[in-house]
Chain A
Amino acid sequence: MQAVPTGWTAEQRDTTRKIVASTQVSWKKSFNSTIAQFTIGVSTIGGGDTIASEGGINSDWNRYQYIDESQYLTSLSYERNLQVPVGGVAKAIAEVNLDNTTGRFTPKYMGGNSELFTAVVPRRPMIINAGFNYDGIDNQIPQFVGVTTKTPETSLRNSTTKLQADDFMGFLQNRYVDNSSMFTGLSTDTVIGNILTELGYATAQYNLDAGISIIPFGLFEVGTRYIDIINKLVQAENGNFYQDETGILRFENRQHYDIAPYNQVQRVLATSQVIEAKAPNESHIINVVEVISKPRVKQTNQLVFTLSGTKELAAGTDFEIFINFDDPMLSIDDPVYLANTLSNGTGTDVTTSISLKAFTKFAKSCKITFSNNSAATAFITNMTMYGRPAKVTTELYTRLKDDSSVTAYEERPYKIQNDYIQSQDWANTFAQMILNDFSKPESLQEITVRALPELQMGDLISWQGRNWRIYGIKTSISPSAGFLQTIKILQRPSSDVIYFTIGTSTIGGTDQIAP
C-alpha cells in the first residue's frame, strides 16, 4: 500500500468526496538529465527543481519535461493485473479522455493549428496521479507511469481526444535479443538485473527480490523477446514482475507477500464502501495441474563430435566445416584431427600440413576453417571435438489433482511447461499451491468499491471477515460513475501463514517453512 498524507483515510471514507486527478504528458519527449527532484532543505521554493511523483524516486522517466493536461481531463481509467495462477510478467494499461474543444490536440492533417500538433505522436511519456481534495488542498498519489501506445484518437464532432498507454513493460515487449548468450548458476534476480542493465535501465529504476531459483544454465537465443525470457524465469519460481504505480519495475518472489507488511491487513472494507461484489463463474477453477520441465545442466568436458567419413582438402586451399551440436555448448575445445594423403588413411600422415585457420563458436554450432598448406590434396580422416554441453539430464513431470473438485466440476486441467523449473520437489509444491488456490470457487472474488487509490498489488485486505490478497485493480474516474475500483481478490490458505524468517522466527515456534 502506498503511503498517504494525513487526513486521507478519513476523506476516502467520507460520504462526500472531492475527487482530483491529473495527467501529464511529455509531448515533445524532451529529456533533461539536469532536472532534479525537489529535496526539502536543499531545493528552493520557486526554483527549477520538479516535484517527484514520490519522494526519493529519481528515475529517468522523471527527467522528461511534462506538460500538465489536467484541466482538459474528462475521464480516465487504468488497470494492473498480476498473472494468476502461475505469475510472470504483468503489464498495466491506461486510457485518458481529454476535452478538445480548443483544438489543442488536433493534429495538422485534421486542420489543427495548436502549438502541440507537431508533437501529437505515439510513444510519449505519460503520468497519472489521483486522490482527493480536502482541507482545500489537492492530495494526489501516483497511479500510473508509462508511454502512449499510439497517436491520440481525436473526434472533431465530440471535441474529444483519447490517449492510450502501456507502462514500461510495453517497451520490454518490443526488445529482442541481438546476440545469443548463455549463463550458468545465476539467480532469477541476477539474470533480470543483467537484462535491465543491458537495456539501459538504471538501478534506481528497478527493485528486485532475491531469486529463489538458481538457474544452472540458460540460453538467450537471437530473436527472442527479452520479456519472454523474463516471463519464463519469473514464472518458474511463481514470482511476479511488474511496474508499480511510481514507475519502478519490481520482481517479487513467491515469498514476497508472506512477510511484513504483506501479511498484515492494510484495509478493512466495510459494506458502506462496496458497491458490488461478484463471485466469478467457475471458469477460473483448476483442479488438475501438470508441470513439465526439461532443465539443462552444464556437463563436464566430454566428447561432443566425431567426424564420420572424410573431408577432402584441395592443395593450397581453405576448407570450411560447419558443425551443429545437439545441445548448447558452454565451451568447445579446438578440434583434434588427423590428415592423410589418402582418404582411407593408409597414405602419408600430413597432419602438420593442415592448419586450423579459423574457429568460430556459436551457441549450438561452430565453423572451422582448415588450410591445406601442402602442394597435394589431403584428407581429414579423423576428427574429434571436446566441449562442455548443457544437457537435459532429467525430465521433471508431476500431475496432481483435487479429487473433490474434480467430482464437483469435472477435470479442469492446467499445464505448466517451463524448463527453468529445477526440481521435482518444487514442481510438486507448485502444482499443489495452484490446486490450493484455484480448485474451489470461493477463493476468488471481484468487488467494486469506492476507490482506495493507495492499494497496490499483493496488499492484504479484509472483506466480510476474511482476508484476501489483491491481484488486480481496475480504476476508473468519470463524472458519470465517480471514482471507482474493481478489485480482483484471492483468498489464499497461505494468506495468514507466517513463514520462518532467519533472525526473527524461533525454532520450535509456529512459523512455517516457506515453499
Chain B
Amino acid sequence: MSYTLNATNIKSPNTLDESNNSQYAQQRTLQGTINRDYFGDNKRVWKLNYKNIQKADFDTINTIYQLYLSTGTAVTWVSTETNYTISSTYVHINLDTRGFTVGGSDYISSFSVILSEA
C-alpha cells in the first residue's frame, strides 16, 4: 500500500484532496434554459498536502518534479491504498511553495504537490 509517482514510492501525504476538472461552456437560451457543451473528458486533480516533512522525503518528490520539468513529459501516478486506489494515470506536477517550519540542520518543511491528470 503506497503512493507511487513516476514509479517511485513517495511519502504518504498528511491530507489529500481530489477534485474534478471538466471543460465546458455554458449558454443561456432565449427561453431561459441553461445548456452546457462539454469538451474532452473529465480530468482529475489531486492535491497532496505535506506538513513537517523530512528533507529526504521532500527530495524524493522534488527529484521527480525536476525530471518532469526537464523532460516535459507527464509521469505516472498510482495509489494502492486499501480504500483509495488510483490506477496508473499520467499527471502533470506542480510543486510551487515550500515553507520551512523548522530550520537549523533539519530544515523540516511543509508543502503541497498538485497532480493534474494529463
Q: How far in angstroms is the closest Cβ of chain A from B57?
A: 31
- Per-residue 0/1 for B76-110: is the Cβ within 8 Å of any A Cβ (1 yes, 0 no)? 00000000000000000000000000000000000
B38 touches A17 (CB 8 A): yes
The residue in chain B whose Cβ has the minimal distance to the Cβ of A75 is B39
Quick one: which of B19-50 are within 8 Å of A by CB?
A: 23-31, 33-39
A484 within 8 A of B: yes
User: CA of A482 to CA of B33 in the docked complex: distance in angstroms?
Assistant: 15
Q: Which residues of A contact B33 (CB under 8 A)?
A: 15, 272
Question: Which residue of A is nearest B30, CB measured?
Answer: A271
Given contacts A16-B35, A17-B37, contact A271 B24 (CB under 8 A): no
Known contacts A270-B31, A272-B31: A478-B36 contact under CB 8 Å: no
Chain A residue total in the interface (Cβ 8 A): 22
User: Distance (Å) between the CB of A474 and the closest chain B CB?
Assistant: 16
- Tell me if B36 and A17 are in contact (CB < 8 A): yes
Q: Are B39 and A15 in contact (CB under 8 A)?
A: no
User: Which residues from chain B contact A274 at a C-beta distance below 8 Å?
Assistant: 29-31
What's the Cα separation between A267 and B49 when bound, in Å? Answer: 53
Q: A255-292: contact bitstring with B at CB < 8 Å (1 yes, 0 no)?
A: 00000000000000011111111000000000000000
Q: Inside 8 A of B23's CB, which chain A residues have their CB?
A: 479
The secondary-structure label for the interface of chain A is strand
Residue among B28, B38, B39, B72 with the highest chain A CB neighbour number at 10 A? B39
A15–B35 touching, CB < 8 Å: yes
Distance of A479 Cα from B36 Cα, bound (Å): 10
- Among B27, B30, B72, contact of A482 (Cβ-Cβ < 8 Å): B27
Task: Mark A206-235 against chain B: 1 for CB-CB distance below 8 A, else 0.
Answer: 000000000000000000000000000000
- B29 x A479 contact (CB < 8 A): no
Which chain A residues border B35 with CB–CB below 8 Å? 15-17, 272, 450, 482
Say yes or no: A275 contacts B37, CB within 8 Å: no
Docked complex Cα distance between A272 and B25 (Å) = 16
Minimum CB–CB distance for A404 against chain B, Å? 31
* Chain B residues in 8 Å Cβ range of A16: 35-36, 38
- The answer to whether A480 touches B25 (Cβ under 8 A) is yes
Partner of A479, one of B28, B30, B34, B39: B39
In the complex, whether A502 has a CB less than 8 A from a CB of chain B is no
Interface flags, A11-35, vs B, CB<8A=1, else 0: 0000111110000000000000000
A483 contacts B by Cβ under 8 Å: yes
Q: How far is the CB of A221 from chain B (nearest CB, A)?
A: 51
Min CB distance, A100 to chain B, in Å? 13
Min C-beta distance of B37 to chain A, whole Å? 4
Q: Which of B27, B30, B31, B39 contacts A484 (CB 8 A)?
A: B27
- Tell me the residues in window 49-87 of chain B with beta carbons closer than 8 Å to chain A beta carbons: 72
Q: Which residues of B contact A271 (CB under 8 A)?
A: 29-31
Q: How close is B94's CB to chain A, nearest CB, in angstroms?
A: 15
With both beta carbons as reference points, the residue of chain B lying nearest to A132 in the complex is identified as B37
- The smallest C-beta distance from B27 to any residue of chain A, in angstroms, reads 5
Closest to A14 in B: B35
Q: Given contacts A478-B25, A479-B25, A482-B25, is CB(A275)–CB(B38) below 8 Å?
A: no
Task: Give 18 new A-B contacts, CB below 8 A, not counting A18-B37, A482-B24, A483-B37.
Answer: A15-B34, A16-B35, A17-B35, A17-B37, A270-B31, A271-B31, A272-B35, A274-B31, A450-B27, A479-B23, A479-B24, A479-B39, A480-B25, A481-B25, A482-B26, A482-B27, A483-B25, A484-B27
* Top 4 A-B residue pairs of the complex, sorted by shortest distance between their CB atoms: A482-B25, A482-B37, A271-B31, A272-B31
**Could you tell me which A residues sit within 8 Å of B by CB distance?**
15-19, 102, 270-277, 450, 478-484
A–B complex contacts, Cβ < 8 Å, 7 sampled:
A15-B35, A17-B36, A271-B31, A273-B29, A275-B28, A277-B30, A482-B26
B residues whose Cβ falls under 8 Å from a Cβ of A:
23-31, 33-39, 72
